[in-house]
Amino acid sequence: MAIIKKSGNNRCWRGCGEIGTLLHCWWDCKLVQPLWKTVWQFLKDVELEIPFDPAIPLLGIYPKDYKSCCYK
């Protein structure tokens, strides 16, 4: 189990030096962008076209008009 320590450091924990907001650390950080681009390329390769939007992986919120391959 991880122990969360209160810290006065508000910089990105990935080490890029930017302000470390949740959105930045998991989506906007230049060090994590290659991961998301790879994930979206994989989804495109398996013919799952979804918008490149942080709400989808971070919050599980999909566009209203999006139909997954699991729906009939």
Buried b (16+ CB within 10 A) or exposed e, 47-68: eeeeeeeeebeeeeeeeeeeee
Structure confidence at residue 1 (pLDDT): 36
Structure confidence at residue 72 (pLDDT): 46
Task: Note whether residue 9 is domain-resident.
Answer: no
Structure confidence at residue 11 (pLDDT): 86
Task: Note whether residue 1 is domain-resident.
Answer: no
Evaluate whether 31 touches 15 at the Cβ level (below 8 Å): yes
Structural domain that includes position 40: 22-59
Q: Global pTM?
A: 0.64
Per-residue pLDDT of the chain (72 residues; tens, 9 = 90+): 345 566 778 888 888 888 888 888 888 899 999 999 999 899 889 988 788 888 888 888 877 776 666 554
Question: Which residues, listed in sequence order, are joined to residue 11 by a DSSP beta bridge?
Answer: 19
Task: Note whether residue 5 is domain-resident.
Answer: no
